């Protein structure tokens, strides 16, 4: 037997490397809720320890795990904890993390039922659960993809297929050259991944009819141009800055009357539709044709985990499968028919486990908790004289202080203090600090600590500004 095969058999029989990875993982979890949210300078400079040429010889897995633990873990961002408010990134529900670890042992390929009956089964179950949670039509199908980028791409591919098929044009066979025109209508606040999908699908961003948005980033319904059956209308549940929602009720009715296709990008916001107390935000969303949503954001599954939902099964399958609509007729669920990928890992395992663990009630409590912590953030920051620039309808808070320079400086200090982590954005032409509460683990105390850190950061920034000013005064007095 070859040397490498012997060594690999040895490692798999001697289970200690798996014990070791569990041991390191648990050590990580034990500290991640209390530690600095962002790695310190030492941890970052230690990343240089990974610099090496691809080794020629075998390295024992124990050594590899030790290196990851000692040099890698300290340079992670504590996203799992409760004080990471950057971008719109979720934590992990323990059941999802644990189920993923188990699923990793299985290493299933979910392309077809015959390759993984368990993955196919769980995909069927979760598809049904999602229809029920979001109140979507019975015929809605799901594709389990890597994230909302892929989900939006897939939903818009289905839209492109259907809109052109209605005009007697099979886009899969004939392509876009010489095709009847497809109109794409979207809000000026559409997420950058919508722009990307538009480019990938050959629509061309220049050809999009961009619709004016209001002060919260919502499409103004009266500004939507007349729609027709050759149009794809792209809406948004959860503006990535303000967290706002388009008015689906009015906009979907308009689209339906014209037989246009509606896609909703609901990366993090669609989950509001699964929560009794927040449902008003997504009213009418069930009248769309396709939806994209992330599990790895609001639902707090591990990365990468996104879902495309589509009420037109034939369009989705025809768009994503190489050979025509008739393939739908197979009785089994073959996951690859509703995703761009053929081979995929079984991300459904952690998605199923997370939903099963939380249940409808737990999910509602968790998501409502995110909204409540965001509202707390806004109230406490206002009480400390920060300006909150958006209506905090969901989990996003945009913060400004006096001017853009000072706001940027305060953010830099907040990041240096490492008590919490937030990113920046632009809102209404001004620099803002963007807070996204997206972790099940965020407590009222986490918010208080973070607000204290904002206040400290402002003192530091103002102190430095004052030093600069007096420094300049001294210089001036010398003249
Ligand atoms: C995060 C996000 C996306 C992109 O999702 P990925 O999972 O990162 O691919 C798209 N739209 C909105 C509104 C988002 O917040």
Q: 29 and 125: one domain?
A: no
User: Could you say which of 330, 355, 380 is where a domain stops?
Assistant: 355
Report yes or no on 477 lying in a domain.
no
Residue located nearest, by CA, to atom 12 of ligand 1: 267
Ligand 1 atom, smallest distance to 266 CA: 13
Residue 104 and residue 9 in one domain = no
| Same domain flag for 242 and 285 | yes
Q: Please, what is the end-to-end C-alpha distance for the chain in angstroms?
A: 85
Measure 378 CA to ligand 1 centroid, in angstroms.
23
Q: Is the CB of 265 under 6 A from ligand 1?
A: yes
Structure tokens at 194: 């919508």
Q: Are 138 and 20 in the same domain?
A: no
State the distance from the centre of ligand 1 to the C-alpha of 41, rounded, in angstroms.
30
* SS3 assignment, position 315: helix
Residue 31 shares a structural domain with residue 138? no
Sign of the Cα torsion 44, 46, 51, 55 reads: negative
What is the structure's pLDDT at 468? 86
Q: Tokens 């209404």 identify what position?
A: 428
Q: Is 431 in the pocket of ligand 1 (CB under 6 A)?
A: no
Using an 8 Å Cβ cutoff, are 407 and 431 in contact?
yes
Residue partners of 378: CB distance under 8 A and separation at least 6: 388, 392, 397
Whether 147 is in the pocket of ligand 1, judged by its Cβ within 6 Å, is yes
Tokens of 246: 């388009």
At residue 327, the pLDDT reads: 45
Name the phi and psi angles at 28, rounded to 5. -60, -50
Place of tokens 């019975």: 138
Pocket test for ligand 1, best of 191, 285, 347 (most atoms within 8 A of CB): 191
Q: Name the residue with the closest Cα to ligand 1, atom 7.
A: 147
Residue-by-residue pLDDT tens, the chain, 479 positions: 579 999 999 999 999 999 999 999 999 999 999 999 999 999 999 999 999 999 999 999 999 999 999 999 999 999 999 999 999 999 999 999 999 999 999 999 999 898 999 999 999 999 999 999 999 999 999 999 999 999 999 999 999 999 999 999 999 999 999 999 999 999 999 999 999 999 999 999 999 999 999 999 999 999 999 999 999 999 999 999 999 999 999 999 999 999 999 999 999 999 999 999 999 999 999 999 999 999 999 999 999 999 999 999 999 999 998 664 444 444 668 999 999 999 999 999 999 999 999 999 999 999 999 999 999 999 999 999 999 999 999 999 999 999 999 999 999 999 999 999 999 999 999 999 999 999 999 999 999 999 999 999 999 999 988 888 887 655 555 44
433, 399 Cβ separation under 8 angstroms:
yes
Cα-to-centroid distance, 409 and ligand 1 (Å): 27
Instruction: Report residue 214: phi and psi, to 5°.
Output: -85, -170
> Can you tell me the distance from the alpha carbon of 436 to that of 428, in angstroms, rounded to the nearest whole number?
18
Report yes or no on 216 lying in a domain. yes
Structure-token pair, residue 133: 């949670």
Same domain, 195 and 343: yes
Instruction: Identify the three-state secondary structure at position 292.
Output: strand
Sign of torsion, CA 203 292 131 340?
positive
Cα(432)–Cα(423) distance, integer angstroms: 9
What is the pTM (predicted TM-score) of this model?
Answer: 0.95
Do 144 and 238 belong together in one domain?
yes
Question: What's the structural domain count of the chain?
Answer: 2
Distance 462 CA to ligand 1 centre (A): 35
Decide whether any atom of ligand 1 lies within 6 Å of the 239 Cβ: no
Same domain? For 58 and 160 the reply is no
Q: What is the pLDDT of residue 38?
A: 96
User: Which two three-digit tokens encode residue 147?
Assistant: 């994230």
Ligand 1 atom nearest 152 alpha carbon: 10
Q: Assess if residue 48 is contained within a domain.
A: yes
Cβ burial, residue 300 (10 Å; 0-12/13-18/19+)? buried
| Domain enclosing residue 117, as ranges | 98-355
Regarding the beta carbon of 295 and ligand 1, being less than 6 Å apart is answered: no
- Which tokens sit at 364? 């509602």
- Judge if the beta carbon of residue 246 lies within 6 A of ligand 1: no
Regarding whether 311 and 280 lie in a shared domain, the answer is: yes
Q: Is residue 118 part of a domain?
A: yes
Ligand 1 atom at shortest distance from the alpha carbon of 296: 7
Task: Return the structure tokens found at 156.
Answer: 């818009």
Q: Do 68 and 145 lie in a common domain?
A: no
Give a yes or no: residue 61 inside a domain. yes
Query: Whose structure tokens read 């591990």?
Result: 302
What is the CATH classification number for the domain harbouring 297? 3.40.640.10
Residue 274 lies in a domain: yes
Query: What pLDDT is recorded for position 465?
Result: 86
147, 148, 218, 241: which to mutate for ligand 1, most atoms within 8 A of CB?
Answer: 148
How much distance in Å is there from the Cα of 148 to the middle of ligand 1? 5
How do residues 215-259 score in pLDDT, each as one tens digit?
Answer: 999 999 999 999 999 999 999 999 999 999 999 999 999 999 999
Token reading at 240 = 């990535």
244 Cβ below 6 A of ligand 1: no
């Amino acid at each position: 037997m070859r040397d490498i095969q012997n060594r690999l058999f040895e490692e798999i029989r001697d289970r200690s490397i798996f014990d070791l990875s569990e041991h390191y993982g648990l050590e990580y979890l034990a500290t991640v809720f209390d530690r600095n949210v962002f790695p310190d300078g030492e941890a970052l400079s230690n990343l240089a320890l990974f610099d090496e040429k691809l080794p020629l010889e075998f390295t024992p897995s124990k050594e590899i795990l030790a290196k990851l633990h000692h040099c890698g873990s300290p340079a992670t961002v504590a996203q799992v904890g409760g004080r990471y408010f950057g971008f719109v990134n979720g934590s992990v529900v323990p059941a999802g993390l644990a189920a993923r670890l188990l699923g990793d042992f299985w290493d299933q390929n979910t392309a077809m039922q015959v390759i993984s009956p368990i993955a196919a089964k769980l995909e069927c179950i979760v598809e049904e659960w999602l229809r029920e949670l979001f109140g979507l039509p019975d015929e809605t199908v799901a594709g389990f993809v890597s994230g909302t980028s892929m989900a939006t791409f897939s939903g818009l591919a289905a839209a492109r297929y259907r809109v052109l098929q209605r005009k007697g044009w099979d886009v899969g066979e004939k392509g876009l050259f010489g095709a009847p025109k497809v109109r794409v209508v979207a809000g000026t606040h559409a997420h950058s991944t919508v722009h990307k999908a538009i480019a990938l699908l050959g629509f061309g961003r220049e050809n999009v009819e961009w619709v004016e948005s209001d002060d919260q980033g919502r499409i103004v319904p009266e500004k939507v141009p007349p729609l027709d059956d050759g149009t794809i209308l792209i809406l948004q549940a959860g503006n990535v800055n303000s967290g706002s929602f388009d008015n689906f009720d009015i906009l979907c009715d308009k689209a339906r009357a014209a037989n246009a296709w509606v896609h909703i990008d609901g990366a993090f916001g669609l989950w509001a539709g699964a929560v009794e107390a927040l449902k008003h935000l997504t009213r009418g969303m069930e009248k769309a044709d396709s939806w994209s949503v992330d599990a790895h954001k609001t639902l707090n599954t591990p990365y990468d985990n996104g879902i495309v939902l589509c009420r037109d099964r034939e369009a989705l399958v025809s768009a994503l499968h190489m050979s025509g609509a008739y393939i739908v007729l197979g009785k089994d669920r073959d996951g690859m028919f509703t995703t761009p990928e053929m081979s995929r890992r079984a991300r459904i395992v952690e998605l199923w486990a997370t939903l099963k663990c939380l249940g409808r009630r737990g999910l509602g409590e968790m998501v409502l908790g995110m909204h409540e912590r965001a509202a707390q953030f806004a109230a406490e920051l206002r009480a400390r004289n920060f300006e909150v620039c958006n209506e905090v309808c969901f989990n996003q808070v945009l913060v400004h202080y006096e001017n853009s320079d000072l706001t940027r400086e305060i953010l830099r200090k907040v990041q240096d203090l490492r008590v919490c982590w937030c990113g920046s954005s632009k809102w209404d032409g001004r620099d803002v600090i963007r807070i996204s509460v997206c972790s099940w683990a965020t407590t009222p105390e986490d918010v208080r600590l973070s607000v204290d850190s904002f206040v400290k950061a402002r003192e530091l920034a103002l102190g430095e500004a004052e030093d600069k000013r007096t420094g300049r005064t001294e210089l001036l007095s010398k003249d």
